[in-house]
Structure 1
C-alpha cells in the first residue's frame, strides 16, 4: 500500500474519472499516456497488456473507458509497479501488475502468464528520447525509461508481436521524427497500419505519432488528418479537451 508521502502526489486524469498517485519528481504521467489510451481499441473480455506501464496511466485510462477488459500492467521498476498496483485498487479497476523487463525473453513472459499468441491488445509508450539530443538521468532505471537505444523500439515491438494473437492490435506512441523507425520495426509481422500525427500547434511539424498495427494485417496503410493540440492562442482545442477528459476517443478507434 502506498502511504501519503512528500514525494508522492495524487493527480486527476480524465476529468477526475481517474485519480493516480505518482512521484513528484522525475517522469510524470501526462498527455501522451491519455492520448495513447484514447487511440486504443478494445472490447469487454479482451486481454489487454500495457507494456512499460509506469504508474498505470494508459492501461487504467483504457480500462476506465472500456469496462470488462482483462488488464495486465508490465513495468520493470518495482516502485512504479507498486504505485500502479495501488492506483488500480484505488480506482476499483481490476489489473494484474507484473514486474518484468519488456526486453526479457519468451520464457520470462510465459512465467508471468504472457505466453505467445495469448493477448488481444497491446498498448505501449516506449522510451523514445534520442540519446544524441537528450541528456539522460544518471539514474540507470530512469535513463532506461526515457532514452531509446537503436534496439529499443525493435525489442518492444518484438515483445508485443510475440504475445499478440493473430489479428491482435498494437497501439503505440513515438516521436514524430522517428516515424520511419516505427514503420521499419513494425514491418516484420504487422500490417494494416493506421497513423495519426500529433501537432502541438498550427504551422509546426508534428511532435508525436500514434500508430495502430495489426498482427498479420494486410490492409493498406492509412494516414489520418493530424490532430492539433492547441489553438493559435496556445489554449487546448475543445476536441482535445474532450479526449483528455474522457468524453471522446481518437479516430484510430473504429466507430
Structure 2
C-alpha cells in the first residue's frame, strides 16, 4: 500500500505559478524505468524524467529503515528508484508543482511503493518545512536534482513548469543546500547532481556544514568533457574530498557502456551509494 500526504506550503510567486492540476490524460505518457521495474506517468512535454534522475538514484547512499527525502521530486523518478533498489526506506517526495506532485502520488501507488508526497517550495523557510513534518535534523538522506542551467546562457522555455525545473537563479543552489543541511541529521548524507562546469559553485555551497565529499564526473565518452557531476556529502563530515574515476556513458566505439546500461536497468549502483 502507498500512503500520501499533501499540503500546499510555499512562498510568494513561485507557489502561485505552480500548476494546480495534472495535465489532461492525452498529455500524459507512461514510461518504463529500471528495465521496466518502475512505470511512471509524466507530462508528454515540459519537465520529463530521464537519465539524470536514475543516475542520482544510483548514487544515493540509502539504507533500509532510513528516512529519505527527495527534494524537487517531480513525478518521483529518483526517489521511487531509490525505494525500488532499497526496500524499507521512509520516503518523502517534495515538489512545488501540484500537478507533478499528484502524478508522483499516483506513481507511488501504482508501483506499490510507500511514499509521502508534500507540496512545498524547497526555498521556503524552516517554518514551512516544519508545517509539513520536515523538521530540522530529521532526515538520514537527502537527494536532489536542483534546477541547474545558467539563466544567462539558457534560452527561456515558454513552458513555465519546464523553466522552473531546469533554470537556476543566483540563489538556487545555496538555498537548496541550505534546506538539505537543515533537515539532515548529523552525519546525514546528501546526494545531488549538477552540471559539470558548475563544480566550483557546488564546492562553495557545500563548504558550510558539509564535508567528506565524494565527486563522480559523468562524461558522454572518453574524448568529451564531463557533462554532469554526482556528489555525495556528509553533514559534519571531516574526511578529505575524493574524486572518483569518470563514469563514461559510451564506449570509445560509440556504443553505450554496458555497465551503465545495466545500472540504468536497475541492476547495480554507483560507488557513491556505498558507505
What TM-score, normalized to structure 1? 0.97
CA distance in 1, matches of 2:23, 2:238: 49
Which of 151, 154, 157 is 1:137 aligned to?
Answer: 157
Alignment of 1:114-193 (within 5 A): 114-193=134-213
Corresponding residue to 2:257 among 237, 249, 253: 237
> 1:45 is matched with which residue: 27, 41, 65?
65
Residue 254 of structure 1: how far off its partner (Å) = 1.6
Q: How many residues align structurally?
A: 255
Tell me, what secondary structure is at the counterpart of 1:22? strand
**SS class of match (1:6):** helix
Residue in 2 aligned with 1:66? 86
* C-alpha contact 2:56 2:191 (8 A) present in aligned 1: yes
Alpha-carbon contact 2:22-2:99 (below 8 Å) kept: no
1: CA distance, partners of 2:91 / 2:181? 17
2:74 aligned to which of 33, 48, 54:
54
Q: Hey, what's the Cα distance between the residues in 2 that align with 1:3 and 1:215?
A: 38
User: Which ranges of 4 or more aligned residues in structure 1 deviate by more than 6 Å?
Assistant: 1-4
Structure 2, unmatched stretches of 5+, are 1-20
TM-score after normalising by structure 2: 0.90
Q: Tell me the distance in 2 between the aligned counterparts of 1:151 and 1:142.
A: 18
For residue 29 of structure 1, report the CA deviation from its aligned partner: 0.6
Give secondary structure in 1 for the equivalent of 2:117: strand
Higher relative contact order (CA 8 A, sep 6+): 2
Q: CA RMSD, aligned part only?
A: 1.4
Does the CA contact (< 8 Å) of 2:74 and 2:104 recur in 1? yes
Report the 3-state secondary structure (helix = DSSP H, G, I; strand = E; otherwise coil) of the residue aligned with 1:241: helix
Q: Decide whether the 8 Å contact of 2:35 with 2:264 is kept in 1.
A: yes
Structure 1 residue 218, shift from structure 2 partner:
0.1
> Partners of 1:104 and 1:7 in 2: how far apart?
30
